[in-house]
A and B are shown apart, each in its own frame.
Chain A
């Protein structure tokens, strides 16, 4: 069964360092997402990506965040200068584009746990 894969599963970094989280979405999916879950809290939307550009982003997704699809398979989230409060689980997800804007479940990766010291 096709799945979304994420690397690394866990990354520890120093405050102020740049971090890149990588995702390989399901191959025939056209919508890609990053979500964040701070420990014990709800899953928060960061950004959606379609047709090689950001389609929507939340207020959390400020200038220190960026996303890229460099080679047609990988989908990356970059955090330019990490802060302590960036410590969280980061989930990548993808979905098919068929159907309307309210249809089609998101398939999630297993997450990348980021710890900022």
Chain B
């Protein structure tokens, strides 16, 4: 069975600092993808970053990077230089068999 675990229900970070949001996963599939989505208070789901299971390099998208450690089955999101607008819920998700499964989310609050 596939499972995504986010152990941090809430996190604080000071504006302009970096923050790491944890995500571990469990799957028996050889080919899968790992995703992070942001959900601001307005409710929409915004795609941030993707890492394929066969990708050897960690994915980066602007201030977002994904620290992929396959042997440990972890896919942590690193947000550099946090901004007030980064305050939101963040969901880690895994895709295999064309279906996306989400973790329980981490609420990030950026302090000015």
Contact = CB atoms under 8 A, between A and B. Distances in A.
Interface of A: 31, 33, 41-45, 48, 50, 55-56, 89, 91, 93, 95, 100-108, 110-111, 113
Contact of A103 (B33, B102, B104, B105): B33
A102 B52 contact: yes
Nearest to A44: B102
B43 interface: yes
Given A108-B44, A110-B43, A111-B44, A102 B95 contact: yes
A93 B91 CA distance: 15
Interface of B: 29, 31-33, 35, 37, 43-45, 47, 50, 52-53, 91, 95-105
The 10 A-B pairs of least Cβ separation, nearest first, read A102-B33, A108-B45, A102-B32, A43-B102, A42-B104, A105-B47, A101-B98, A110-B44, A102-B96, A101-B97
B97 A89 contact: no
A100 to B, nearest CB: 5
Contacts of B99: 33, 45, 48, 56
A39 to B, nearest CB: 10
B43 A33 contact: no
A45 B107 CA distance: 20
Nearest to B97: A101
Contacts of A42: 91, 102-105
Contacts of B95: 101-104, 106
Contact of B31 (A43, A45, A100): A100
B102 A31 contact: no
A102 B29 contact: yes
A1 B51 CA distance: 23
B101 A107 contact: no
A31 B105 CA distance: 24
B45 A91 contact: yes
A45 B98 CA distance: 12
Contact of B100 (A33, A41, A55, A100): A33
Contact of B43 (A31, A89, A100, A106): A89
Given A100-B31, A106-B100, A108-B45, 16 more contacts: A33-B100, A41-B104, A42-B104, A45-B100, A45-B102, A48-B99, A56-B99, A89-B43, A101-B32, A101-B98, A102-B29, A104-B95, A105-B50, A106-B47, A108-B44, A108-B47
